[in-house]
């Protein structure tokens, strides 16, 4: 994600150098990651953070990127260690939701201040993007999220600040250097 946050596709050799693992090990590990997006040259263009357009615009240091879901926008700044400006339409009304997320200070400049995030915790996940990310959206108000919540049983709707707080274990997991490499997709 840190490499993708610069706004350019990532080649395996770059990822291997950044991870401190041999290229062949990284290649095998990446092949096992569900939902990884590649361009025609075989470079990685998305894994949670993506160069391909989604509803969730994510701008970092002038690089214009996207994320797979609303929740990603809230914890990826901590993972990449840089603030991001986010814009995403309300899934019900189309009203733009705008905010800034700083890795240290959290959410600021939230507009509208009534915005909420839908979070679903699926029982089974064969594809993170399909099961978890696709239903995870921003809404201008809790009322705007009601129909979406009925569509996805077991979904929670949280204020943006509460969703940011709830997402912090995800960033901590991705930043955990003591975790075995397999946990991050490498053998």
The strand pair at 37-38 and 56-60 is best described as unpaired
Active site residue 69: yes
Positive or negative, the CA dihedral 158, 160, 161, 165 is: positive
Residue position matching structure tokens 């997006």: 37
Positive or negative, the CA dihedral 144, 69, 162, 122 is: positive
Of these residues, 24, 69, 102, 156, which one is catalytic?
69
Of these residues, 24, 35, 133, 156, which one is catalytic?
133
DSSP 57-97: EEEETTEEEEESSHHHHHHHHHHHTS-EEEEEE-TTT-PEE
Distance from chain centroid for Cα 182: 20
Tell which residue, 22, 25, 80, has the closest CA to residue 47: 80
Of these residues, 24, 72, 156, 176, which one is catalytic?
72
3-state secondary structure of 138: strand
Active site residue 24: no
Say which DSSP state 10 is in: B
* Catalytic residue list: 69, 72, 133
């Amino acid at each position: 994600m840190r490499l993708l946050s610069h706004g350019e596709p990532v080649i395996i050799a770059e990822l291997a150098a950044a991870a401190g693992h041999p290229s062949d090990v990284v290649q095998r590990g990446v092949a096992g990651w569900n939902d990884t997006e590649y361009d025609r040259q075989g470079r990685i263009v998305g894994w949670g953070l993506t160069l391909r357009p989604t509803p969730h615009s994510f701008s970092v240091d002038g690089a214009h990127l996207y994320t797979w879901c609303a929740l990603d926008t809230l914890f990826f700044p901590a993972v990449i260690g840089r603030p991001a400006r986010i814009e995403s339409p309300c899934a019900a009304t189309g009203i733009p939701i705008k905010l800034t997320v700083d890795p240290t200070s959290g959410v600021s400049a939230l507009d509208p201040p009534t915005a909420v995030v839908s979070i679903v915790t699926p029982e089974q996940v064969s594809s993170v993007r399909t099961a978890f990310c696709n239903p995870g959206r921003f809404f201008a108000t809790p009322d705007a999220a009601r129909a979406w919540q009925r569509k996805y049983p077991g979904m929670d709707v949280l204020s943006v600040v509460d969703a940011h707080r709830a997402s912090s274990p995800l960033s901590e997991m991705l930043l955990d250097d003591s975790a075995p490499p397999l946990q991050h997709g490498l053998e």
